[in-house]
Amino acid sequence: MLWDALKPFPGRGGITLRLAIVCTAIVLVADTFRLPFQDLMPFFILFITKEEKVTTAVSALLVLVAVTLAVGASLLLFKCTGERPEFRVPGIAAEIFVGMYLFRVLAIGAVGWILGFICAAAQSLVYLSPDPEETVHQFLWLWVAIAFPVGLAWVASLLIFPVSPTRLLQHEFLAGWRAVGAATAHLAADAPSAGASVLHPRVKRGPTRFLKLLKLSLLEARALQTQGGQLTRMILTLDKLTKLLFSYARAQLRSRDPGAISPAETALLGDLRASAQRFERAFETGLVPRGVAARSAMAPAGGFAALPLVEAAHAIDDLGAVNTDPENPPPGAAPRPKRSLFVADAFRNPRHAQFALKVTLAGMIGYLFYTAVDYYGIHTVFYTPLIIALGSTGASIHKGVLRIVGCVIGGALGLICTVWVIPRFESLGAFLLIIFCVHGLAAWIALGSERIAYLGLQVALAFDLGVLQGYGPPTKIDPLRDRFIGIMLGICILSVVFSLVWPEGAESIARERLAGCLRAIARLLRLSHSGNASQSSALQREQVELEIASRLSEAHAYEEQAVFEALLYGSGVTDAARLEQASAGVDDLYVACLPWVREQASLGSTAQDGERPKAGRERTERFAGAVEAFADSIGRSRHPSAGWPPLRADGLLEETDRGTGESPDSDSLRQLSRTLVQLQDQVIPASRCTY
Question: 531-576 pLDDT, tens per residue?
Answer: 555 555 778 888 899 999 999 998 888 888 887 777 776 655 566 6
Residues 26 and 143 in one domain: yes
Give the model's pLDDT for residue 349: 87
By residue range, what is the domain housing residue 69?
Answer: 2-163+350-500
Domain-embedded: residue 331: no
HEC secondary structure over 443-490: HHHHCCCCCCHHHHHHHHHHHHHHHCCCCCCCCCCHHHHHHHHHHHHH
Residues 215 and 284 in one domain: yes
Residues 133 and 194 in one domain: no
Strand, coil or helix: 106:
strand
Residues 448 and 541 in one domain: no
How far apart are alpha carbons 9 and 22 in whole angstroms? Answer: 21
Q: Which residues contact 472 (CB under 8 A, 6 or more apart)?
A: none
* pLDDT higher than 60, residue 265: yes
Give the model's pLDDT for residue 299: 47
Residue 609 binned pLDDT confidence (cut-offs 50, 70, 90): very low
- State phi, psi for 62 to the nearest 5 degrees: -65, -40
Residues 402 and 551 in one domain: no
From residue 502, alpha-carbon distances to 14, 345, 355, 367, 596 in Å are 44, 18, 8, 22, 42
Residues 81 and 94 in one domain: yes
How far apart are alpha carbons 617 and 627 in whole angstroms? Answer: 15
Least confident piece of the model among 5-14, 444-453, 652-661: 652-661
From residue 19, alpha-carbon distances to 159, 165, 342 in Å are 12, 18, 33
To the nearest whole percent, how much of the chain has pLDDT over 70? 83
Residues 517 and 598 in one domain: yes
Final residue before a domain boundary, out of 465, 500, 535:
500
Domain-embedded: residue 622: yes
Asked if 656 and 674 count as a contact pair (C-beta separation under 8 A), the reply is no
How far apart are alpha carbons 219 and 229 in whole angstroms? Answer: 15
Domain-embedded: residue 59: yes
Closest of 214, 206, 197 to residue 513, by C-alpha? 206
How far apart are alpha carbons 16 and 341 in whole angstroms? Answer: 34
**Count of domains for the chain:** 3
Domain-embedded: residue 338: no
List the end-to-end C-alpha distance of the chain, in Å, as a whole number.
40
Residues 682 and 581 in one domain: yes
pLDDT digits (tens, 9 = 90+) for 313-349: 988 888 865 554 545 554 444 455 566 788 888 888 8
pLDDT digits (tens, 9 = 90+) for 100-118: 999 999 888 888 899 899 9
Strand, coil or helix: 342:
strand
Asked if 236 and 542 count as a contact pair (C-beta separation under 8 A), the reply is yes
Strand, coil or helix: 248:
helix
> Got the DSSP string for 115-175?
HHHHHHHHHTTGGGSSSHHHHHHHHHHHHHHHHHHHHHHHHHHHHSS---HHHHHHHHHHH
How far apart are alpha carbons 466 and 39 in whole angstroms? Answer: 8
Least confident piece of the model among 1-15, 29-43, 550-564, 591-605: 591-605
Residue 436 binned pLDDT confidence (cut-offs 50, 70, 90): very high
How far apart are alpha carbons 89 and 82 in whole angstroms? Answer: 11
Task: Between 651 and 264, name the one with better pLDDT.
Answer: 264
Domain-embedded: residue 325: no
Residues 177 and 159 in one domain: no
Rounded to the nearest 10 degrees, what angle do helices 380-388 and 393-416 cross at?
130
Final residue before a domain boundary, out of 435, 466, 500:
500
Final residue before a domain boundary, out of 484, 500, 516:
500
Mean pLDDT of the chain: 83
How far apart are alpha carbons 487 and 310 in whole angstroms? Answer: 55
Give the model's pLDDT for residue 244: 93
How far apart are alpha carbons 228 and 288 in whole angstroms? Answer: 10
Alpha helices in 474-572 (DSSP H): 478-500, 506-528, 535-569
Domain-embedded: residue 216: yes
Domain-embedded: residue 80: yes
Alpha helices in 34-131 (DSSP H): 41-48, 53-81, 85-105, 109-123
Give the model's pLDDT for residue 473: 78
pLDDT digits (tens, 9 = 90+) for 491-537: 999 989 988 888 888 888 888 889 999 999 999 988 866 655 555 57
Residues 491 and 511 in one domain: no
Residues 633 and 587 in one domain: yes
Closest of 36, 227, 220, 49 to residue 140, by C-alpha? 36
Domain-embedded: residue 323: no
How far apart are alpha carbons 398 and 336 in whole angstroms? Answer: 37
Residues 13 and 156 in one domain: yes
- DSSP code for 223: G
